[in-house]
Each structure stands twice: as structure tokens, then as C-alpha cells.
A = this chain, B = another copy of it.
Amino acid sequence: MKSRCPNIKYLFEPRSIAIIGASQDTMKLGYTIIENILSGNYIGKVYPVNPKGGEILGHSVYKSVEEIDDIVDIACIAIPAKIVFKAVKSCAHKGVKFLVIITSGFSEIGNTAEERKIASYAREHGMRILGPNIVGIYSSSVSLNATFGPKEIETGNVAIITQSGAIGIAMIGKTKVEHIGISAIVSVGNKADIDEADLLEYLISHKETKIILLYIEGIRGGEKLARILKMATKKKPVIVIKSGRSKRGAIAAASHTGSLAGADKVFDAIIRQCGVIRAENIQEALEWCKFLVNSPVPKGENSVIITNGGGIGVLGADACEKYNVNLYDDIQTLKKTFSEVTPTFGSIRNPVDLTGQASLVDYDKALGAALKNRNIHSVICLGCETTFFNAEAFKGIVKKQYDDYKIKKPIVFSIFGGDKVESCIINLREYNIPIFSDTYKAVSCLSALYSHYRNKISPTDIIKEIDTDIHSIERIIKQARKDNRYFLLSYEAQDIMKAVGIPIPKSYVAHNISEAIKYAEEIGYPVVMKVVSKDIVHKSDVEGVALDLENKAEVIDAYEAILYNCRTNKPNALIQGMEVSEMMQSGIETIVGARRDPSFGPIVMFGLGGIYVEVMKDIVFRSFPVGPKETMKMISELQSYPLLLGVRGEKKKDIDVVVDTVIKVGAILQKCKDISDIEVNPLVVYNCGEGVKALDVRILLSKPEEV
């Protein structure tokens, strides 16, 4: 029996909750959870469940969930792992919608079978599971704190989804200290059923949530996650912390393309493609959340630094370059705006330097002028404690200006000095004013906001359908499957290129010398000849390749030499023919690839041929599907990109066709579930207008366990 999925709204706004494993023992999670729910003033009904019955905190205990004479939207399960399945069955009987399984001891310690059994049972009975191995869920909409974490949670507009329960608990505490208000905290743990994507889908239109923070350790079903992240980030900022950036933490990627890059590089490329803002660590993420939730989105890229010290100003400019915040440099406007408010020895250039003699009146005027000016879209106000700097008076100015402009224009402050400055910072932060001792931190917050701004205004890329001769492709794959091959032969791979319109060298398979000569003459000399054999993957290794054949005599010689070499070097190989192809003009050699990432599904990759990818690790990735704009952006991120633009007087290369080819290669992989890996190496790129040619194509099919 397969039932309809319950609406995820009832996970965030349950009308009632049953706590299976409710306990009177204050040392048990089953007590803490009920206590948190009750002291948090949950607006729905609370039903403690425990076979022992009795009463807990004034609520009578049901012996079983089935005894409850009411609908039960959530059953929160906090009982030993070995009896969870039994409880889940009762819940199915009762018609519970969501199972919040706190209990640990499942797949995280290798007990995967039990977890799968529970998950598939729940699915069959129309229930969804959060967890297991979680700290619970908090939802401000109904004032529900169904966690065993801290009792007090500050209500606000940041939703947190965390894979680690421990970090979830610690974040509840830290957000309270930092006055970061929370709309929801969901611990996803082992993700037996509900994952980040399911939750994000709901949070996109969740009114209480203005910002979403994800703490991720590992990704499953990343294809769906990427799709939903793209939608979410257009509506609200999504900030991600992913642990395991380092080699020590990252899973060794199995395939060739993966091993070139390391899993984190792929993750990083894809979440940026999705418009996600990635924080390096939890502190940074929380600072960003706090700033973004309180700040308006800027109306443009023109940022201005106001400072009372050259040194601090330059440090601020350094930080802006590091974090990609654009300093406005229209001298005319800067002059008009600041010349009246800047002392003689100051500078109206950006950073606007009021000098160490700056009085607070100067600060007030300059800050006011910057905030008022429509050409200035954000302001970085810096201060260094000098003999003239009065932190107490500065506080007043900051408060006034911030209050006047906080909903109109992003502003960050950073002041540096002794105890008066420090207490000024502490005091202003109590009012949620973004002021920091560290200039770099201030600029980093603004930079996160600009990441969101840029993603929000960037036009949605058009994903176009690629014309594909899918029947030819299927025929080729069918043949390979029949032969029990997990790779395609060279000519088969070429036929697949033809099926999506990627140009390949003219090429025929000859079965004897006279055919070889005929084809060579049809193609035109010089030609290249390669052995065709399902038993020979690396043709060069067996000397099965001959280049630059200029006439009939050379074709004959080469044909015989290749046959001889293959018979000598690989005696048992079945020779199926000899591929004769046109000898290519030289151009820039590139590599285009596509594969199924274990986390993210179809991804495409691009790099310049040879040592650029191998030695310099100069390679870029995107999840597929991807539109032409984003593909162009991806290509331009290569360090070696100038080579495609033409260096040393060379002409610009045909980059548009490269973009097209990358998308086509991705489309093949996406459409044919049988294909696991495509590598065009080299894809030779010619001058603008002259296109590309796929010289060598390697296509692997998925092994049975991967399909």
C-alpha cells in the first residue's frame, strides 16, 4: 500500500505532537523534550506516550500512540533503537504524518538495515521521517521546541538545517548569545527520508524565514538539492557551512575527473553555481546571518569607505579586494559628496580619509553625505582610536545614522582601539548594529550580502533543449551491452558525438587495405590510422596508431605495421578494423568531460588540455543542466582562460562553440542513464568562427550497481 505524502507544512506547523518515550526521569531525553515543548509554549496539543502511563509535568501519559483520541501530526520518538520499528508500526496504525526519530544507533554506526526497513515501512504507510539520530525540530510558527537542546531559543528570521545534532545544540546557544533570532531549526541526522532539499522547498515560501543556514557534512541526492537551491537563493540568502573541505575529511572521489579535483572543489563550484554563499566556518556563517537578516539588499555595487586613518583605510581597501567588494571610484561624485566635509589634508578619494584630526562632527557629516547620496550603494565606516576620537560620542552618531538608514542602505562599521572603543562595540552590537573590531570581518559581512545581491539580479540562464538523435545512441549502447562492454569503441563514441552535432574528424572504418586507401583518398591526405578492437582500450600502448600518412604507399605500410604490432603486443585481441581519419590542424587542446557525481548527479567539467589539468589542476565544474551564460562564466574562471582569448597576438578562439559543446556533452550524459562518463580529450578549439573538433572521445557505461 503506497499512500500520499503528507504536506510538509505539518512538520513545521503541527497541530499536535506525541512524544513516544516520554519520561518522568529528568535525566532522560524523553523528559527534556517534553519539558522543552511545554516551557516553549507550543500552541498545539501535547501527548506524552509511555507504556507505563502516569503523568508527566501535568500531562497524562498515553500507553500507546493509538490510544490518542485526536489527529497526531508529529510523533517524536525517543526510545531505544531496537524498539523504534514497533513504535513506527503503531504510528502507521494511528495515521501519524511525521516521525521525528531522535534515537541514534542506526546507519551512523553501521546499522543500515534497520534504518532502511523503518524508512521503507514509513514510506509505504504515508509517513515521512525526520532523522534518525537527531536533536529534534524547532519551529517558531507554532512555538514548538521539540528538541533536547537548550530550552530558550530566540525567535527571529533565520532557519537552520543541520546535519550534526551536536552543532545544532551549540548553534542554538550561540545564536542566543549573538541575538540571532531563529524561525526554525531542523536536525536532519541520517536523512533516512527527509533531506535538506525537502526542507528548503518548504522554507522558500516560509514567511518567517528570511535567511537559511545549512550545516552539511555529506550530500546525497545532490541533483535535487542543486535544483531547489537555485530556486531558493533567488528568493532569500542561503548560507552553507560544509565540513570536510580538507583532504583528510573529504571522501576520495573514485573517477578520473573527480580525483583531479577533490570532492570539495566540485561541491564548491556547484553550490556557487546555485547562488549559495559558502562560509568557511560556523562563526563566519553566524556573523553573515546576523548581518544579512538585518540589512537591506544594496541597489548597486558602489561602496565607499569612510575612515579617520590612512592605515586603517588601506587595510579596509585590502579587505574589499579580498572579499570582492567594489570601491566606488567616480572622482567627480566623490569630490562633490565629500569635499565639503573632508579636512584639507584628508582625501576625497575612496577610502575617504577624514584624517586623524577628524572630529565627530566631520564623521557625522561625511557619513550622512554618503548615506544620502543615491550613487553610493553601501558604506563601510572605519575608525582608529586617536587622541581626537571620542568613542562615546561616536556611538551616538552611529546609532543615529544607522537608525535613519538601516532599512535603506547597507552599512558596516569597524573601530579599533582600547577599552572605550571595545565597550562602544559591545554596546552597539546589543542593538544589532553591525560593528566589529576587525575591519576584515566587517567587509566580509558586506561581501556576503553582495554575493546574494549579485545572484538575485543575475538573469536566469536559459536551459535549452539539445537536439539529440536518441535512437542512434540507444542502438549503440544496446550493442555495447550485448558485448558486455562498459566502454564504447572509438567509432561508437564518435557516432554519439554526431548524434548531438559535435564535429568530429572525418573518419571511416576500413576492413582491408583497399578500403583503407579508398577512405584515405575520400578524406584527403594527410590521414591518421588507428586500430579498432574492443580488446584494445589504449591504442598507443600497443603501437596501434599511425599519424600524418601522406600518400597511398604510407597508408599501406602503416596498415601492415599496425596489424603486426597489435598481433605481437596483444596476440588475443580481436581486430575489428582500421579507423582512417583526417589529420587535424593544430589549435588549442581542451578537455570537456561529463560524469555522474556520487553526490550531485550529472556534472560537466572543462579545462585546457595536457598539463593544465594534470599538473596545474586548472579545471572548472558545474552541475548539469547549465545554461550558456553560466557555462561561459565557468570557462572564464579558468586560470588559463586568456589562452582562449588569444595571447601573444593570436586570434581569439571560438569560445561560443566551446560553450555549446560543453552543454551538448552534459546533455548526452543527462539523457542516457546508461552513460556514466564522457571525456572529450582533446577537443581542439580553432579561431573564432572556425569551431571545434572532438579528436578523441572516451565514453564509459555505468556498471550494473551504478544504474
* Chain B residues in 8 Å Cβ range of A505: none
Within 8 A of B (CB), among A417-445: 417-422, 437-441
Given contacts A166-B384, A170-B418, A281-B319, 6 further A-B contacts (CB under 8 A): A166-B308, A166-B386, A167-B312, A249-B314, A281-B315, A616-B639
* Chain B residues in 8 Å Cβ range of A215: 311
Contact across chains for B643 and A169 when beta carbons are under 8 A apart: no
Interface centre among A29, A176, A246, A356 (most CB of B within 10 A): A246
Q: Mark A505-545, 1 if CB is under 8 A from B, else 0.
A: 00000000000000000000000000000000000000000
* Chain B residues in 8 Å Cβ range of A173: 385, 417-421
Distance (whole angstroms) from the CB of A320 to the closest CB of chain B: 7
Contact across chains for B440 and A169 when beta carbons are under 8 A apart: no
Interface centre among A149, A248, A312 (most CB of B within 10 A): A248
Does any Cβ of B come within 8 Å of A400's Cβ?
no
Does any Cβ of B come within 8 Å of A321's Cβ?
yes
Q: Would A282 and B166 be within 8 Å (CB), given that A246-B317, A387-B32 are in contact?
A: no
Distance (whole angstroms) from the CB of A435 to the closest CB of chain B: 14
Contact across chains for A164 and B248 when beta carbons are under 8 A apart: no
28 pairs, A vs B, C-beta closer than 8 Å: A148-B387, A149-B387, A150-B418, A163-B311, A165-B356, A166-B308, A166-B312, A169-B384, A169-B387, A170-B312, A170-B385, A170-B417, A170-B421, A172-B418, A173-B420, A174-B437, A217-B311, A217-B314, A243-B315, A245-B322, A246-B318, A246-B320, A248-B327, A249-B317, A281-B438, A283-B441, A611-B640, A617-B639
Contact with A248, one of B148, B321, B441 (Cβ below 8 angstroms)? B321
The CA-CA distance from A320 to B247 in the complex, in Å, is: 11
Within 8 A of B (CB), among A226-249: 243-249
Within 8 A of B (CB), among A641-655: 642-643, 647-648
How many copies are assembled?
2
Contact with A164, one of B172, B309, B643, B648 (Cβ below 8 angstroms)? B309
Q: Mark A631-644, 1 if CB is under 8 A from B, else 0.
A: 00000000110110
* Chain B residues in 8 Å Cβ range of A385: 169-170, 173
Contact across chains for A169 and B417 when beta carbons are under 8 A apart: yes
Does any Cβ of B come within 8 Å of A615's Cβ?
yes
Does any Cβ of B come within 8 Å of A310's Cβ?
yes
Distance (whole angstroms) from the CB of A98 to the closest CB of chain B: 23
Contact across chains for A311 and B437 when beta carbons are under 8 A apart: no
Q: Mark A246-260, 1 if CB is under 8 A from B, else 0.
A: 111100000000000
Does any Cβ of B come within 8 Å of A416's Cβ?
yes
Contact across chains for B611 and A647 when beta carbons are under 8 A apart: yes
* Chain B residues in 8 Å Cβ range of A437: 174, 283
Contact across chains for A321 and B387 when beta carbons are under 8 A apart: no
The CA-CA distance from A148 to B247 in the complex, in Å, is: 51
Q: Mark A83-123, 1 if CB is under 8 A from B, else 0.
A: 00000000000000000000000000100000000000000
Contact across chains for B642 and A438 when beta carbons are under 8 A apart: no
Distance (whole angstroms) from the CB of A165 to the closest CB of chain B: 7
Does any Cβ of B come within 8 Å of A280's Cβ?
yes
Q: Mark A604-631, 1 if CB is under 8 A from B, else 0.
A: 0000000100111110000000000000
Contact across chains for B318 and A283 when beta carbons are under 8 A apart: no
Does any Cβ of B come within 8 Å of A553's Cβ?
no
The CA-CA distance from A29 to B246 in the complex, in Å, is: 53
In the complex formed, the residue of B with least CB distance to A109 is B345
Interface centre among A29, A32, A167 (most CB of B within 10 A): A167
* Chain B residues in 8 Å Cβ range of A312: 166-167, 170
Distance (whole angstroms) from the CB of A348 to the closest CB of chain B: 15
Contact across chains for A177 and B387 when beta carbons are under 8 A apart: no
* Chain B residues in 8 Å Cβ range of A618: 616
* Chain B residues in 8 Å Cβ range of A640: 611, 615-616
* Chain B residues in 8 Å Cβ range of A170: 312, 384-386, 416-418, 421
Within 8 A of B (CB), among A274-295: 280-283
The CA-CA distance from A319 to B150 in the complex, in Å, is: 28
Q: Would A169 and B345 be within 8 Å (CB), given that A249-B317, A614-B647 are in contact?
A: no
In the complex formed, the residue of B with least CB distance to A641 is B615
In the complex formed, the residue of B with least CB distance to A217 is B311
* Chain B residues in 8 Å Cβ range of A311: 163-164, 166-167, 215, 217, 243
In the complex formed, the residue of B with least CB distance to A423 is B177
Distance (whole angstroms) from the CB of A640 to the closest CB of chain B: 6
Closest 5 CB pairs of A and B: A173-B418, A246-B321, A164-B311, A166-B309, A243-B314
* Chain B residues in 8 Å Cβ range of A32: 387
The CA-CA distance from A381 to B322 in the complex, in Å, is: 30
Contact across chains for B647 and A439 when beta carbons are under 8 A apart: no
* Chain B residues in 8 Å Cβ range of A109: 345
* Chain B residues in 8 Å Cβ range of A321: 245-248
* Chain B residues in 8 Å Cβ range of A280: 440
* Chain B residues in 8 Å Cβ range of A440: 280-281, 283
In the complex formed, the residue of B with least CB distance to A391 is B173
Contact across chains for A318 and B174 when beta carbons are under 8 A apart: no
* Chain B residues in 8 Å Cβ range of A320: 246, 248
The CA-CA distance from A249 to B353 in the complex, in Å, is: 14
The CA-CA distance from A438 to B285 in the complex, in Å, is: 11
Contact with A419, one of B176, B247, B319, B441 (Cβ below 8 angstroms)? B176
* Chain B residues in 8 Å Cβ range of A174: 416-418, 421-422, 437
In the complex formed, the residue of B with least CB distance to A280 is B440
Within 8 A of B (CB), among A348-395: 356, 384-387
